[in-house]
Amino acid sequence: MPDKDASTPRIFILRHGETEWSKSGQYTGKTDMPLTPHGEAQVKGTAQQVYGLGKLIDPAKVAKIWLSPRKRAIKTYELLSGRNDGYEISESLAEWDYGDYEGRLTKDIRALRKDRGLDKEREWDIWSDGCEGGESSAEVTARIDTLLKEIRTFHANRMHSSEPKDIILVAHGHLTRAFAKRFLGYELSFPLSLMMEPGGVGILSYQHHNIDEPALLMGIGFPLQE
């Protein structure tokens, strides 16, 4: 039996398209930035390639859709699907609360922390150190795990069912990577390097049709388009 086939539930996790701050590298948590025209084009390009009947993300196979409450994530789903309904908003998918670091660049955050007498032995790392005035890695973990528990219960009940079982999540740069780490069972501080481009989509699933074997689906064969 293959590790993965069309009957195994999948989680399609998407990062919203480009904003002015994602373009410049500024940390964007609660600030409700709109997509740039290029960001909208990124999502439309993704949709053209992977979303639709018979495509990788087949809406006929999607059972649940959860979105971050930020407008940039909601707009991304609307551009992807052509719909403005049928989804749930989840605070579990909101971007990391950057607190004092909102709108800053990494180099500026590290300089600020050194001015405050922090990080004398190593440079700041959000996965271990969290954000002053914002969230710690433990707090981000707790809210992700709340949604993960719901997803795992849903998938466990449908693992061997013919009913729709795929899930779409739309979130943010740090949050998508944090979610993938937690899905795989890693602490956020675990040195697993992951990347997610604006408008990009990643896939999480399970090996051997087993809810206790979560996996990153590294490669997939795309269906032939007629």
Tokens representing 181 are 């780490």
Where would I find the beta strands (DSSP E) of the chain? 11-15, 62-67, 88-89, 166-171, 201-206, 214-216
Q: Does residue 21 have a known ligand-binding role?
A: no
Query: Which residue in 68, 66, 67 sits closest to 30, CA to CA?
Result: 68
Q: Does residue 122 have a known ligand-binding role?
A: no
Distance, in Å, from the CA atom of 73 to the CA atom of 56, rounded to the nearest integer, reads 20
Q: Does residue 163 have a known ligand-binding role?
A: no
- Reply yes or no on whether 95 is catalytic: yes
- Reply yes or no on whether 16 is catalytic: yes
Q: Does residue 95 have a known ligand-binding role?
A: yes
Task: Single out the catalytic residue among 38, 88, 95, 174.
Answer: 95
| 31, 16 contact by CB (below 8 A) | no
Q: Does residue 91 have a known ligand-binding role?
A: no
Q: Does residue 146 have a known ligand-binding role?
A: no
Helix 37-50 crosses helix 71-81 at what angle (to 10 degrees)? 40
Q: Does residue 127 have a known ligand-binding role?
A: no
Mark the binding-site residues, compressed into ranges.
Answer: 28-29, 72, 95-98
Mark the binding-site residues for substrate, compressed into ranges.
Answer: 28-29, 72, 95-98
What residues act catalytically? Answer: 16, 95
